[in-house]
Amino acid sequence: MSNAVILAESAGFCYGVKRAVELAEKTGRETGGCWMLGDLIHNTHVVEELESLGVRKTADPASIGSGETVVIRSHGELKSTLDALEARGVRCVNATCPNVIRIQKLVAETGEEGRRAVIIGEPQHPEVVGVASWRQDALVFEGPESVASWLAEDPKRREIPITVVAQTTCIRELFETSCKIIKKECTNVKIFDTICNATHKRQSEAAEIAGRVDVMVVVGDRKSANTKHLAEICRGKCSRVLQVENADELPADFLDGCVSAGLTAGASTPAGIIKEVYATMSEEIKAAEGTEESFEELLNQSFKTLNTGEKVTGIVTAITPTEVQVDVGAKQAAYIRLSELSDDPNAKPEDIVKVGDEIETYIVRVNDVEGYAELSKKRLDAVKVWENIEQAVEDKTVMEGIVTEENKGGIVVSVKGVRVFVPASQSGQPRGADLSAMIKSKVQLRITEVNRARRRVVGSIRSVTDEARRAAQEEVWANIEEGKRYTGTVKSMTSYGVFVDIGGVDGMVHISELSWSRIKTPAEVCKVGDTLEVYVISFDAEKHKISLGVKDRSVDPWDVFMSKYGVGDVASVRIVKLMTFGAFAEVVPGVDGLIHISQIADRRIEKPEDVLSEGQIVDAKITAIDEEKKKISLSIRALLAPAADEYDDQEAPVEE
């Protein structure tokens, strides 16, 4: 093997760290000075640079005053700290890694779902401490041993509904082994693989390089968990591994006798430090073999060789009105014409890429004489889309697209620029439905057929919706219990009640359970598509029948009435039913009183409907209350006739 330093492509800033640093720099410039709570990222060099830009560091949230600005670090922060800052009027710029924010949301949602959050990661790490704060009863385990120990302490813990997540930089083997134990032992588990893809790629690449070199160097701050994990992974593959923070920490004799060396870096390591370590290692290897090659020659040898038709990855260095300049690690200057950037003629370059972005392109032409290379993003994008589409058929991947048109027999969905035909029978809509209503909507579908030569692609929305509905149904039936509450959607209505979808399963709300008030039809209180808060009255899992209720059973209408009215009070009542002997009127929802026919008017009448009609609102006086039988006597006449005659023809309460 020739003398070489193999630099991992994934070494250095990940997306989340890069985003955090850029946000802090931008905020520092815009505000003229702001705060960061602790180290924005785990790298002392970067933190010191930020402080020189006016982004001051404090460990005490209380020291930040109202109206000041604080940048929340990439690892996230305690929920209580964020709430306190917001309550004091501190402006928070959230530079928390999007992957960490997703984990925070998953943990927070366990409370709404009645589940227990389990986090696999380092208990004292800032990211894990912050994530755990989003649910007070969250559990944190370092690995399979602590998981197994917790389950063994109490057999009942196996029945607790559990949601499992991982620290973004967790070693995959630890996470997967822990999940294997949990899935085997527990009866109700949801597992979310939240290990950052960039972390997994960096760890896999580091292991691969470490397995084929004489010495491996890992660069990163000693407080960085992902750097520490990288070093651990490399030690499992290579006998000589050194973790350093910068080039100055490389011992003079560390590379003696080695033919090849590997170099990787944690997600918080700036590119400048990586380049310094790379240069030092390269010079040391050459010096150890007694060669006279200069650093400039060594650097030239490290340049990529560009060949037309190949893929190449580079970093955007500048955006001009006519082109995007890209550093691809070659001697040639590389650029992308705007016409080769995107298929969309109206797209602006700055909306597609930004300076500092990593971009994968296709080499259109290499001119070694003039020293430049022409690249194309749109050509590579087109090839990759078709590759992804073809792979999606084999993997049965769920893809997203926008419905662009309705045509004979179905609809057309644009998936990453590719037209996908979805037959009407696979649209997920009822037969005969107006498919044009789906235009411009975002849908999920599976690709079922691809003919690249004919550029024909067929997909199915129904397979995704059916699968999702089955999964939702299984979830409902696995966890349903009497008294459990759901937020449902009214799917259909009958004269005797409504059917409500509570997550893939329909339950029946009888008309008597829709309202405390007397209603003749469900349409009086709801309509198809309405959202209803319901609870389970009873269910039959074998027959797949569920009885639901809407009325709040925690409130007794009679207690409401008694707390509001007494004998002699006047109430505005609604006539709900006319009988031969009188009329029943609703005093409060769920409580009716009787207005005897003799108490309807100040004259004799033949029948109640001569004066009253159902639904009419009238004032009536409460003349009697039977608390034992929960019956009320009302009188309209008492408000019309002289007081002396008020109760002449008063009747006792009559049952309906």
Enzyme catalytic residues? 127
Report in angstroms the alpha-carbon separations of 215 from 55, 145, 209, 285, 495: 38, 32, 10, 11, 79
3-state secondary structure at position 612: coil
3-state secondary structure at position 580: coil
Euclidean distance between CA atoms 290 and 161, whole angstroms: 64
Give the DSSP H/E element, type plus range, for residue 499.
strand 497-501
- Contact, 614 vs 578, CB < 8 A? yes
From 608, 653, 603, 604, select the one nearest 628 (Cα to Cα). Answer: 653
- Cβ neighbour number for residue 79 with a 10 Å cutoff: 18
What are the residues whose beta carbons fall under 8 Å from the beta carbon of 194, sequence distance 6 or more? 99, 102, 103, 106, 165, 166, 167, 168
On the CB side of 615, CA atoms within 13 Å amount to 3
Output DSSP code: residue 330. B
Give how far the C-alpha of residue 218 lies from the chain's centroid of Cα atoms, to the nearest Å. 33
Give the DSSP H/E element, type plus range, for residue 412.
strand 410-415
Euclidean distance between CA atoms 301 and 52, whole angstroms: 36
Euclidean distance between CA atoms 337 and 322, whole angstroms: 6
- Contact, 157 vs 69, CB < 8 A? no
Alpha helix (H) residue ranges in 322-361: 349-352
Give the DSSP H/E element, type plus range, for residue 190.
strand 189-191
What are the residues whose beta carbons fall under 8 Å from the beta carbon of 249, sequence distance 6 or more? none
What are the residues whose beta carbons fall under 8 Å from the beta carbon of 645, sequence distance 6 or more? none
